[in-house]
Amino acid sequence: MNELAPHSMPKDIGWIEVIAGCMFSGKTEELIRRLRRAQIAKQKIRVFKPKIDTRYSEGSIVSHSEQSLPSTIVEDAREIIHLAKDAQVVGIDEAQFFSNDLIQVCNTLASKGKRVIVAGLDQDYRGIPFEPMPQLLAIAEYITKALAICVNCGNPADKTQRKIVSKERVVVGAADIYEARCRRCHYIPEES
Ligand code: ZN
């Protein structure tokens, strides 16, 4: 996965990094890796996730490979501006579950000189761009598209296949109801 070389990191200004991808692409793992490296450099980090995502752990962000970092659950993205005021590096996971207020929040944090690292699903189970990720990708200085491996054919996968039928855009679950699929193998359950 591409990342800034430490010697080319911007100095004295903030910026936005977005890690986008489907489920099981290692987005949270990559977010945790970047935040850990900042911690090792003695930078003050704060990590946030939306209230909707309570799987695995209440107060932590947790990757599918069970790495974790303590995080604060917020209901409204605007709370992050106040809560992160002492942080140099701000991590935000599951960005697709925040409202579009997150766009302005990320801009505000970066304008205050903070490094903002946002991870989220870039498409819903139908393959439709999942707000506010498209807008965050547009305003970010650095973008990483994380790919998974299609469970059906082994090709690079960027779609989240839902294995149950539901018209709800958000159905919280993990490997029990989702898997990674490539463009060719992905389908929308209602239409099949
Ligand atoms: Zn496939």
Ligand 1 centroid – CA 27 distance (Å): 20
Ligand 1 centroid – CA 128 distance (Å): 18
Per-residue pLDDT at 170 = 87
Domains of the chain: 13-147 (3.40.50.300)
Per-residue pLDDT at 43 = 96
Q: Which of 94, 131, 141, 168 is catalytic?
A: 94
Per-residue pLDDT at 63 = 73
For 76, 135, 152, 156, the CA distances from 48, given in Å and listed in that order, are 11, 19, 33, 29
Ligand 1 centroid – CA 142 distance (Å): 28
Per-residue pLDDT at 54 = 58
Which regions of the chain does DSSP assign to beta strands (E)? 15-21, 45-50, 60-62, 68-70, 72-74, 89-92, 115-121, 142-146, 148-149, 156-157, 159-162, 178-181
Active site residue 94: yes
Per-residue pLDDT at 2 = 52
- Series of mean pLDDT values for 10-residue runs along the chain (192 residues): 62 93 96 95 96 66 76 95 97 97 98 97 96 98 98 97 90 88 94 54
| Cα–Cα dist 72/46, whole Å | 8
Per-residue pLDDT at 91 = 98
Ligand 1 centroid – CA 156 distance (Å): 8
